[in-house]
Amino acid sequence: MEHANVFKPSISRIRIVKNDKLSIDVPLICIQCEVPACVHVCPVNALSRDEETGIVKLDMDKCINCSLCVIKCPYHGVFKTPSGVTVKCDLCDGDPKCVKYCPTGALQYLEISPEIEVKRGKSKEKFLKLLREYCLEKAALRIAGVGGE
């Protein structure tokens, strides 16, 4: 919503993959990796990590919408919109709206510290485990916009 002034989850930069039967919800969002797979795979250097802020940024002028980053991101944190544009979280330039709306504190925006880094690592593992264990990979890829028929 923040980037488009409409309510449209299909262009959102944070999405949720669900197994409603077992009541499992896994958020899909860029976790701003230190060694990002998306940056590594980008053929035109449209993705880069800002060493100062840690934000992994996508330069829309350079992006050729090849979807490699969408496929390669292990956390399914890069998305295609229905019109084929690649989008990812930019932390709303330091004021993330998702955190503002989160009712439970599941989403938090914190200064990095060694403890937080450990916590973040655990969350990452937990997400990957949930995606694998509950067979959500296919659904997650569909949500990210690259899972065809």
Partner 1 sequence: MTSKSIYIEPVNEKLARNYIGGSGFAARILYDMLKPGIDPFSPENVIVIATGPLTGTLWPTAGRYMMASKSPLTGIWGESHAGGHFGPELKYAGFDYLIITGRSEKPTYIYLNDGRIEFRKAEHIWGLNTHEATDVIKEETDPNAHIACIGQAGENLVKFASVISDYHRAHGRIGIGAIWGSKKLKAIAVKGDGEVEVADHERFIELVEDAHERVLKHPQARDLARYGTPLLVGYKQSIGELPTKNHWTGIFNEARDLTAEVLKEKFWVRDRACFSCRVQCKKVYTIKEGPYAGIVSEGPEYEAIYSFGSNLGNSNFPSIFYANYLCNLYGLDVISTGCVIAFLTECIERGVIGRDEVEGMDLRWGNHEAFIELIHKIARREGIGDLLAEGAKRASEKIGKGSEYYAIHVKGLEVSGQDGRTHRSIGLSHAVASRGADHLRGLVTVDQLGYEEVAAKRWGSDKLPDICNPYSERWKALAVKTTEDVYAIRDMLIVCWYTVSWPPIYWLEDFAKILPAVTGEEMFGKVGELLRIGERVVNLERCFNVREGITRKDDRLPRRFIEEPMPEGPGKGQRVNLELMLDEYYELRGWDKETGIPRKEMLERLGLIKETKDLERMGKLPA
Number of residues that bind partner 1 (CB under 8 A): 24
State the Cα–Cα distance between residues 17 and 9, nearest whole angstrom: 12
- Could you tell me how far CA 7 lies from the centroid of its own chain? 18
Residue placing its CB nearer to partner 1 in the complex, 80 or 88: 80
Is 139 a binder of partner 1 (CB under 8 A)?
yes
Q: Return the residue of 20, 52, 61, 93 that touches partner 1, per CB under 8 A.
A: 20
Which of 103, 105, 114, 148 lies at the binding interface for partner 1 (CB under 8 A)?
103
Cα 11 to Cα 27: distance, rounded to the nearest angstrom? 15
Which one of the spans 32-40, 55-63, 108-116, 134-142 is the region binding partner 1 (CB under 8 A)? 134-142
For residue 3, state whether it binds partner 1 (rule: CB under 8 A). Answer: no
In angstroms, how far is the first alpha carbon of the chain from the final one? 28
Strand partners, 17: 26
Q: How many Å apart are CA 97 and CA 130, to the nearest integer?
A: 25
DSSP reduced 3-state for 138: helix
Tell me how far, at minimum, the Cβ of 139 lies from partner 1, in Å: 4
- Binders of partner 1 among 51-70, rule CB under 8 A? none
Q: For 97, phi and psi rounded to 5 degrees?
A: -70, -30
Query: Which of positions 30-49 make contact with partner 1 (CB under 8 A)?
Result: none
Contact residues toward partner 1 (CB under 8 A) are: 1, 4-11, 17-18, 20-23, 25, 82, 101, 103-104, 138-139, 142-143
